[in-house]
Amino acid sequence: MHPAHFNTPLWLTHCLFCISFFLFTQNTLANNGTIGYAYPIKDITVDGDLSDWPADLIKYPLTNFSNQSDSVKDRDLRAYLMMGYNLAEQCLYVAVEAWDDDIVRNPENPLWYTHDMQVLYLDPAHKPEGTGVIGYEINLDTAKIVEQPNMLWYEQVKHATWDNVKVKIIHGENKIIYEWRILLNEHIVPGRTIGFDYSVFDKDTDQRWTAASWGDNNMKHASYKNIGDVVLMPTAEKPEKVSGVLKWEEEQGYSFPRTIQCSSTTNPQLRLQVAVDSTGQYTAQLPLAGYNISIPDPLIWHKHDVFKAKLREPFTLEINGNHPTIVPPLMITKEVVADLIPERGLLHNFDATETNKMDEFIQHYQAFYDIPGVSLSLIKDGQLVFHKTYGVQNAVTREPIKEQSLFEAASVTKPVFAYVVNRLAERGAFDLDKPLHEYLPFEDLKEYEEYKLMTGRHVLMHVSGLPNWGREMKFKPGTKYGYSGEGFEYLKRAVAHVIGKDIQQILNEELIEPLDLYNMYFVDSPELREVGVSGHRRGVPTIQYWPEEPGMAWSMFTEAKAFSRFAIALLEGRGLAPATYSNMFTLLTEFPLEEGQPKPEYPEGMGLGMAIRESPFGKVFGHGGNNGDFQCQFEIYKDLKMGYIVFTNSDVGYHLHKNLVQFLVEGKKIEQTD
């Protein structure tokens, strides 16, 4: 016999990984692995005429495309950039030429996707802990700094202005030139690295748009890990080609780290991220120096697990300029989180003497997965027996999490709204079996005749036929499972229309006041902004998007102690008739298996607005939530009258949550071997 890696419960997968609509394509790496070189230049006049630029400067093509059209042949955009610096002036110079058959201006509408524009992304301080990215967005009519009000924890972003920037734009019939001069003062140091990237956004009159970028990744302004590196070369010295490969000690089909970091052994300001491809190969041009090699972003996703990759032993690379350098294979090994799961769940005999074990568990997972903040509550015998917060609200400011600090609850909003809808249905104010279109037509779905079959019951069971997000029908309502936040938003609008009140008033009257709840916010307010914490991706604070209106699929902010009051109310059966609770807690729709996912030992699926699963300890109800940079979970074991609520401000908090199931209640799982 041996301890088994327990399988991820299906209901956690379905509830937790249905990410909300504002999770953009934001792949966070330890920089995006693109490297460029800026050489000393002089006598440059910023006038849009590039004839005074040295003819031998490297021209970097912008070849990373984000295209609204799937067809490469439809792209009419070609662009390249050049870079240089002037030490005496303490300035960085950038020149961009773009060929575009369709130049579009729209001075009345400043939104980025309505006109042609270009964005220069800059992290001049470029410290290892992260210093934020300044996005200089400009076109023929307007100029602004991208998202500056929402990234004020970075000093260089907080104080960024256009005062140190000069740009000249020259355009012809099918060509446009941007010439930049940026005063960087003390950051212009020969031999150092700065964070840099560039994007050209092309809007066409047929409403298509294309973005061509120097480095890979989108949302470059949101994280210093999404942009490239530029070395301020001290002389005309050319970098040397370096190539090599990463190899796992034991081949298991694992993916590779997306970058390796090369840090100068003598110059702490010379650090470069080198991109690694899907086979482990890497190639780069590096300045002559000695480098310590490391893996800056070691988390590896493999199926439903996450572990760390680390070099088997330290490695130092010497580049002397004599010939291209071929690095010997770098062997990497797998590092897993420590096994702290007890034979029997801690919560069964939990008392004050066990809190140190709880602390050890949370803090170990925080450190391993780089989870900045945690809010945790434990329920035993139907009562709140433990509450504690761990870590920080923001990885940059390091302000501690407080009891009143609020986290995005993401899809945990859904069972809260389901409680409200069931309450309205119970007293006849809303009919769960009446087609929603009879309450309120959904004009965007009128081409789909089958949408008229959709009911509130279908939405709560996630059999509505709608996708998670998107206004189209995927299948006939009621015929199969399909997780849908869009369905909850349609149900919200229908409920508000029928009741004749805005949704916040309905929440107050049907939820917050009857159950005497607190610290639950669903829409932007000064009070929420005062206590709302920052989300994080790979340990980097993300831009906070405050909900402009209550979203019943995703917008609740709360914390573990406050939410435990709602969880205990469900356990006690308060506010609803026993028959209604029976429907909520009856497994009505089983979750389908994902590809490669083993069949669970016990059935899992949806009740009427609540995720349900069976377990060795009886029925469990709850829900997970994932807005990308916030992940949370609550589970209540109905017969044991125990459970947990956990909120994290991290994109990897889920890997803490799934282990809490075993640590607190179900204990170590054992499987038989032959």
Domain check: are 533 and 473 in the same one? yes
Question: Which of 232, 257, 281 marks a domain boundary?
Answer: 232
Do 193 and 270 share a domain, yes or no? Answer: no
Rounded CA-CA distance 525/556 in Å is 12
Kindly state whether residues 319 and 375 are assigned to the same domain: no
Judge contact between 566 and 416, C-beta under 8 A. yes
CATH at 254 = 2.60.40.1120
Question: Considering the domain boundaries, does residue 93 fall inside one?
Answer: yes
CA–CA dist 130, 223 (Å, integer): 8
- Is 27 domain-assigned? no
At 619 the pLDDT is: 97
Q: How far apart, in whole angstroms, are the C-alpha atoms of residue 550 and residue 554?
A: 8
Note whether 577 and 556 are same-domain residues: yes
| Residue 605 within any structural domain of the chain | yes
Residue pLDDT, tens place only, 553-596: 999 999 999 999 999 999 999 999 999 999 999 999 999 987 77
Based on the domain organization, do 469 and 524 belong to the same domain?
A: yes
Neighbours of 555 (CB within 10 A): 22
Per-residue confidence (pLDDT) for residue 61, from 0 to 100: 96
Quickly count: other Cβ atoms within 10 Å of residue 205's Cβ: 8
pLDDT of residue 1: 27
φ, ψ for residue 505 (rounded to 5)?
Answer: -65, -40
Instruction: Specify whether 278 is located in the same domain as 353.
Output: no
In a domain, 30, yes or no: no
Tell me the C-alpha distance between 407 and 532, whole Å.
6
3-state SS, residue 627? coil
Q: How far apart (Å, rounded) are the C-alpha atoms in residues 660 and 346? A: 10
378, part of any domain: yes
Look at the chain and report how many structural domains it folds into: 3
Tokens of residue 91, six digits: 């300035």
Strands (E), 87-174: 91-99, 117-123, 134-138, 143-145, 165-171
CATH number at residue 444: 3.40.710.10
Residue 176, SS3 per DSSP: strand
317, 176: one domain: no
Q: At what angle do helices 485-499 and 413-426 cross, to 10 degrees?
A: 40
pLDDT for the residue 525: 96
328 and 343 fall within a common domain: no
- Structural domain includes residue 25: no
Strand partners, 647: 375, 632
CATH number of 88's domain = 2.60.40.1190
Domain stops at, among 335, 369, 404: 335
Q: Is 640 helix (H, G, I), strand (E, B) or coil?
A: coil
Strand intervals (E) in 257-298: 259-264, 271-275, 281-286, 289-294
Q: Do 390 and 373 meet the contact criterion of CB atoms below 8 Å apart?
A: yes
- Domain shared by 344 and 302, yes or no: no
**Domain check: are 488 and 606 in the same one?**
yes
**Per-residue model confidence (pLDDT) at position 73:** 53
Are 17 and 633 in contact, with CB atoms under 8 Å apart? no
Name the stretches of the chain with pLDDT < 50: 1-8, 11, 16-30, 671-674
Residue 10 has a pLDDT of 52
Quote the domain boundaries for residue 302: 240-335
pLDDT at residue 3, as a whole number = 27
Structure tokens at 495: 């409920």
Final residue of a structural domain among 190, 211, 232: 232
Residues 322 and 374 reside in one and the same domain:
no
The answer to whether residue 439 is domain-embedded is yes
Single out the residue of 360, 338, 210, 196 nearest to residue 272, CA to CA. 196
The answer to whether the CB of 544 falls within 8 A of the CB of 532 is: yes
Residue 22 lies in a domain: no
Q: What does the pLDDT look like over 145-176, one tens digit per residue? A: 998 878 889 999 999 999 999 999 999 888 99
**Do the bridges between strand 240-248 and strand 281-286 make them parallel or antiparallel, or are there none, so unpaired?**
antiparallel
Shared-domain flag, residues 187 and 281: no
pLDDT at 70: 52
